[in-house]
């Protein structure tokens, strides 16, 4: 998404008001630090002379000089006069300096002197016992390379060694920031301001953050957000229950009550393939390599298809109740299926028999997702719970059970696998759960859902948007972070069952409905004409 920069003159603060918020000396010192960081030393000297302000006091300059020069005793002599944020920080900084001294003696091959420093200077401080034990063990290392690896220290002899500069950075954490300005502080403040503006932008979904200018306030153009039907896909003759983009975003699979599956080319919006499933399709899932497609129907089987040839590769008929969902592991060979009969089954898609590799007793499962790295499985079921499992070496271990307030009809994970989005039927709400803290962090309201299974999704570059169908024939879009309802999109003539967001450019998503159509939503500025 491109960026539109807008600055409203009426909202700009007067220069005097802005200046009153910032001390002139603080600003000049930040400018001095930035000029030096950028290599403009002469400009920094000129600014220092003209303003009369210095970047650091003579005391801090001397400390910096002594540390970088390895003059440890001179550096320690200054410490009683350094303005620390806490008086207890003095011994902590002494420990850091003496540790550097100890490690450099080992680097020079002076093991006995290093041992003397350890016994007479470092140990009496009583600081950081765990680190002290590590330093003691370093005396027995056979090479300086082992010392550096175990201590996570890069020495002083290598051309790009930064250990003394790193020591200064570590010391800085304990010193009053007004005396020793944190590294690249002005750049940090600018970064914070940019991040704040991005979070405040309800439609933020840029393709390149480098487009954000420092010269004006940031605001994404709403006209570039997908709110217009740019194509209506027709071909099914009954309700469409599920749609899913391929991982490369080039194709879409749709399954319907009419028992057909259609594969669509999402660049041309043409049918690539159409084939008949034995039962009405309620769920479909592309393999990670996009070469295979699993379809769950209203019967007790899962069917594996070659989506582009329309060939049925295998039927897995082991479950004793309706199979509701399935999810692939990253290897594109194994998958897990869930059903209403209280078991999960692990399958290998190339096996010649139709027995699962293994099975696990669980509650009735209605939807599931596996994280991109294959480390976790998340399921929902008729027990109104979200279940989180560790999935290691094809073994399943439950690690969390999160109780909801109503029937859950849909499950989506963020790309990083940390958050789970669910639709809660009785509440007519969507909830975003943090699976690490095990808490609901956001709620989204507005869509209608009392009778049917409605499937929502997350969309945008950073999963910034929440999109759901609804029983009032609309598509609802919220800002994930702000919970703000951004759009109520009309066009469908019956319940909108499922949403799928295209994982590549251009920015698009599709909605599938009981009205037998799939609508492709894009930017109002999209060049493809609507087929309405």
First to last CA, the chain: 25
CATH number of residue 271's parent domain:
2.130.10.10
Mean confidence (pLDDT) of the chain: 90
Average of per-residue pLDDT across 189-212: 78
Q: Is residue 532 part of a domain?
A: no
My answer on whether 440 and 499 are in the same domain is yes
Average of per-residue pLDDT across 217-226: 82
Task: Encode pLDDT of 494-510 as tens digits.
Answer: 999 999 999 998 899 99
Residues with Cβ within 8 Å of 201's Cβ and at least 6 positions away in sequence, in order, are 218, 219, 220
Q: Could you give the CA distance from residue 208 to residue 462 in angstroms, rounded to a whole number? A: 12
Tokens in use for 398? 């439950």
Share of the chain above pLDDT 70, in %: 93
**Helices vs strands, H then E, count in the chain:** 11, 30
Q: Is residue 527 part of a domain?
A: no
Answer with the residue of higher pLDDT: 149 or 199: 149
Q: Give the length of the chain.
A: 532
pLDDT at residue 325 tops 60: yes
- Give the model's confidence band at 204: pLDDT under 50 very low, under 70 low, under 90 confident, else very high: confident
Residue found by looking up tokens 């001095």 in the block: 32
Of 245-259, 398-412, 454-468, 513-527, minimum mean pLDDT range: 513-527
Full DSSP string of 372-389: TTSSEEEEEETTSEEEEE
Task: Encode pLDDT of 69-87 as tens digits.
Answer: 999 999 999 999 999 999 8
Let me know the angle formed at the C-alpha of 267 by 262 and 271, rounded to the nearest 5 degrees.
25
Report CA-CA distances (Å) from 84 to 91, 172, 177, 185.
Answer: 11, 9, 9, 18
Strand partners, 496: 513
My answer on whether 109 and 121 are in the same domain is yes
Average of per-residue pLDDT across 445-462: 93
My answer on whether 116 and 138 are in the same domain is yes
Q: Is residue 424 part of a domain?
A: yes
- Give the model's confidence band at 11: pLDDT under 50 very low, under 70 low, under 90 confident, else very high: very low
Of 178-192, 248-262, 416-430, 462-476, minimum mean pLDDT range: 178-192
Of 185-189, 249-253, 441-445, minimum mean pLDDT range: 185-189
Q: What is the pLDDT of residue 527?
A: 45
My answer on whether 214 and 85 are in the same domain is no
Full DSSP string of 432-473: EEETTTTEEEEEEE----SSS--BEEEESTTS-EEEE--TTS
My answer on whether 300 and 442 are in the same domain is yes
Residues with Cβ within 8 Å of 467's Cβ and at least 6 positions away in sequence, in order, are 456, 457, 458, 459, 475, 476, 477, 478, 499, 501, 509
Q: Is residue 529 part of a domain?
A: no
My answer on whether 5 and 129 are in the same domain is no
My answer on whether 433 and 503 are in the same domain is yes
My answer on whether 363 and 454 are in the same domain is yes
Of 203-207, 273-277, 348-352, minimum mean pLDDT range: 203-207
Q: What is the pLDDT of residue 526?
A: 57
Q: What is the pLDDT of residue 353?
A: 67
Q: Could you give the CA distance from residue 232 to residue 491 in angstroms, rounded to a whole number? A: 10
Average of per-residue pLDDT across 94-101: 96
The dihedral built from the CA positions of residue 331, 333, 337 and 343, taken in this order, carries a sign that is negative
Report how many domains make up the chain. Answer: 3
DSSP 290: S
Q: Could you give the CA distance from residue 500 to residue 458 in angstroms, rounded to a whole number? A: 8
My answer on whether 267 and 280 are in the same domain is yes
pLDDT at residue 245 tops 90: yes
Q: Is residue 466 part of a domain?
A: yes
Q: Could you give the CA distance from residue 97 to residue 104 in angstroms, rounded to a whole number? A: 11
Q: What is the pLDDT of residue 382?
A: 86
Task: Encode pLDDT of 364-380 as tens digits.
Answer: 999 999 999 999 999 99
Task: Encode pLDDT of 373-425 as tens digits.
Answer: 999 999 999 889 999 999 988 889 999 999 999 999 999 999 999 999 999 99
Average of per-residue pLDDT across 248-259: 97
My answer on whether 291 and 250 are in the same domain is yes
417 torsion bin: left (phi>0), alpha (psi -120 to 50), beta (else): left
Q: Could you give the CA distance from residue 441 to residue 428 in angstroms, rounded to a whole number? A: 17
Share of the chain above pLDDT 90, in %: 78
Q: Is residue 422 part of a domain?
A: yes
- Give the model's confidence band at 355: pLDDT under 50 very low, under 70 low, under 90 confident, else very high: confident
Q: Is residue 233 part of a domain?
A: yes
Average of per-residue pLDDT across 181-194: 90
Q: What is the pLDDT of residue 216?
A: 82
Task: Look up the domain containing 207 and give its range.
Answer: 1-55+183-219
Task: Encode pLDDT of 108-118 as tens digits.
Answer: 999 999 999 99
Residues with Cβ within 8 Å of 82's Cβ and at least 6 positions away in sequence, in order, are 59, 60, 63, 90, 93, 175, 179
Q: Which SS3 state, helix, strand or coil, does residue 288 take?
A: coil
Q: What is the pLDDT of residue 247?
A: 97
Q: Is residue 158 part of a domain?
A: yes
Q: Could you give the CA distance from residue 87 to residue 127 in angstroms, rounded to a whole number? A: 14
Average of per-residue pLDDT across 287-304: 94
Let me know the angle formed at the C-alpha of 524 by 480 and 461, rounded to the nearest 5 degrees.
35
Whether 367 contacts 379, CB under 8 Å: yes
Q: What is the pLDDT of residue 9?
A: 39
Task: Encode pLDDT of 265-285 as tens digits.
Answer: 999 999 999 999 888 989 999
Average of per-residue pLDDT across 121-125: 95
My answer on whether 410 and 473 are in the same domain is yes
Average of per-residue pLDDT across 504-522: 96
Highest mean pLDDT among 6-15, 56-65, 205-214, 343-352: 56-65
My answer on whether 101 and 205 are in the same domain is no
């Amino acid at each position: 998404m491109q960026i539109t920069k807008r600055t409203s003159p009426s909202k700009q603060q007067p220069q005097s008001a802005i200046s009153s918020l910032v001390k002139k000396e603080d600003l000049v010192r930040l400018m001095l630090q930035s000029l030096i960081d950028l290599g403009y030393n002469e400009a920094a000297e000129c600014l220092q002379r003209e303003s009369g302000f210095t970047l650091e006091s003579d005391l801090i300059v001397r400390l910096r000089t002594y540390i970088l020069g390895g003059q440890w005793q001179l550096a320690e002599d200054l410490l009683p006069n350094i303005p620390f944020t806490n008086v207890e920080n003095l011994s902590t900084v002494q420990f850091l300096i003496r540790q550097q001294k100890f490690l450099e003696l080992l680097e020079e091959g002076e093991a006995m002197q290093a041992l003397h420093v350890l016994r007479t200077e470092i140990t009496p401080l009583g600081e950081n016992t765990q680190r002290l034990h590590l330093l003691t063990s370093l005396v027995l290392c056979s090479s300086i390379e082992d010392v550096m690896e175990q201590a996570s220290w890069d020495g002083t002899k290598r051309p790009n060694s930064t250990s003394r500069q790193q020591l200064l950075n570590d010391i800085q954490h304990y010193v009053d920031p007004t005396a020793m300005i944190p590294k690249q502080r002005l750049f940090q403040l600018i970064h914070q301001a940019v991040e704040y503006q991005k979070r405040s932008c309800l439609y933020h979904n840029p393709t390149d953050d480098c487009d954000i200018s420092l010269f004006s306030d940031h605001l994404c153009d709403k006209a570039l957000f997908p709110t217009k039907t740019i194509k209506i896909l027709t071909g099914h003759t009954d309700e469409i229950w599920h749609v899913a983009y391929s991982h490369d975003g080039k194709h879409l699979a749709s399954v319907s009550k009419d028992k057909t599956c259609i594969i669509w080319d999402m660049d041309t919006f043409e049918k690539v393939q159409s084939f008949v499933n034995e039962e009405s399709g309620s769920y479909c899932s592309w393999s990670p390599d996009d070469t295979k497609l699993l379809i769950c129907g209203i019967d007790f089987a899962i069917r594996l298809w070659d989506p582009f040839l329309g060939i049925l590769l295998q039927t897995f008929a082991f479950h004793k109740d309706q199979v509701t969902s399935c999810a692939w592991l990253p290897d594109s060979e194994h998958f897990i299926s869930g059903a209403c009969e209280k078991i999960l089954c692990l399958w290998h898609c190339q096996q010649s028999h139709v027995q699962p590799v293994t099975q696990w007793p669980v509650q009735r499962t209605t939807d599931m997702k596996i994280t991109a790295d294959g480390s976790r499985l998340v399921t929902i079921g008729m027990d109104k719970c979200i279940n989180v499992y560790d999935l290691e070496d094809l073994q399943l271990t439950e690690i969390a059970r999160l109780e909801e307030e109503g029937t859950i009809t849909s499950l989506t994970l963020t790309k990083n696998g940390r958050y789970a989005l669910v639709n809660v039927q009785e509440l007519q709400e969507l909830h975003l759960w943090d699976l690490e803290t095990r808490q609901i962090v956001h709620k989204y309201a507005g869509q209608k859902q009392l009778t049917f299974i409605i499937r929502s999704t997350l969309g945008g570059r950073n999963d910034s948007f929440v999109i759901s169908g609804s029983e009032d024939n609309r598509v609802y879009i919220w800002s994930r972070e702000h919970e703000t309802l951004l759009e109520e999109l009309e066009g469908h003539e019956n319940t909108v069952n499922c949403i799928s967001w295209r994982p590549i450019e251009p920015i698009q998503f599709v909605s599938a409905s009981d009205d037998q159509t799939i609508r492709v939503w894009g930017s109002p500025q999209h060049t493809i004409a609507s087929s309405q």
